[in-house]
A = this chain, B = another copy of it.
Amino acid sequence: MRILILGGDGYLGWPTAMHLSGHGHEVAVVDNYMRRNLMRDEDVEPLYKVPNLDERIRVWKDVGKYIIKKYIGDLNKWEFISQVFQEFQPDTIIHYAEQPSAPYSMLRREAATLTINNNVGVTANVIFAVREFCPDAHIIKLGTMGEYGTPNIDIEEGWIDIEHKGRNSKFLYPRQAGSLYHTTKIMDTDLLWYYVRMWELRVTDLMQGPVYGIFTEESSQDDRLLTFFSYDELFGTVLNRFIVQAVANHPLTVYGKGGQTRGYLNIRDTLNCVRLSLENPADYGELRIFNQFTETFSVNELAVKVQSAGSGLGLDVQIRSIENPRKELEEHYYNPAHTGLLELGLEPSFLTNTELVQMLEYVMNYRDTIAEYKIIRGTKWV
Q: B residues within 8 A CB of A382?
A: 198-199
Stretch of A16-24, A30-38, A84-92, A117-125 contacting B (4+ beta carbons < 8 Å): A117-125
Establish whether residues A165 and B194, one from each chain, have CB atoms under 8 Å apart when the complex forms: no
Task: Report A199 CB to chain B, min CB distance, Å.
Answer: 7
A381 CA to B199 CA, complexed, in Å: 9
Instruction: Identify which of B124, B174, B187 contacts A172 (C-beta below 8 A).
Output: B174
Rounded to whole angstroms, the CA-CA distance of A125 and B153 in the bound complex is 33
* Bound Cα distance A167, B154 (Å): 8
Q: Does A190 contact B (CB under 8 A)?
A: yes
Interface pair A167/B183, CB less than 8 Å apart: no
How many angstroms from the CA of A171 to the CA of B176 in the assembled complex?
A: 8
Contact (Cβ within 8 A) B151 A171:
yes
Measured as residues with beta carbon below 8 angstroms from the partner, the interface class of chain A is 35 or more
Q: Is B180 within 8 A of A162, CB to CB? A: no
The interface-forming segment of A49-57, A108-116, A239-247, A338-346 is A108-116
Copies of this chain in the oligomer: 2
A203 to chain B, nearest CB (A): 15
When distances are taken between beta carbons in the complex, the residues of chain B under 8 Å from A376 are none
User: What's the minimum C-beta distance from A19 to chain B, rounded to whole angstroms?
Assistant: 33
Q: A112-B128, A121-B117 are in contact. Are A333 and B167 (CB under 8 A)?
A: yes
Flag if A194 contacts B198 (CB, 8 Å): no
- The winner among A117, A162, A177, A381 for most chain B CB atoms within 10 A is A162
Nearest CB in chain B: distance from A338 CB, A: 16
Interface residue ranges of A133-187 to B (CB < 8 Å): 151-154, 160, 162-165, 167-169, 171-172, 174-177, 180, 183, 186-187
Known: A112-B124, A154-B165, A171-B176. 13 other contacts (CB 8 A): A109-B128, A113-B121, A116-B191, A120-B120, A120-B187, A151-B169, A153-B162, A153-B168, A153-B169, A167-B333, A183-B190, A198-B327, A198-B382
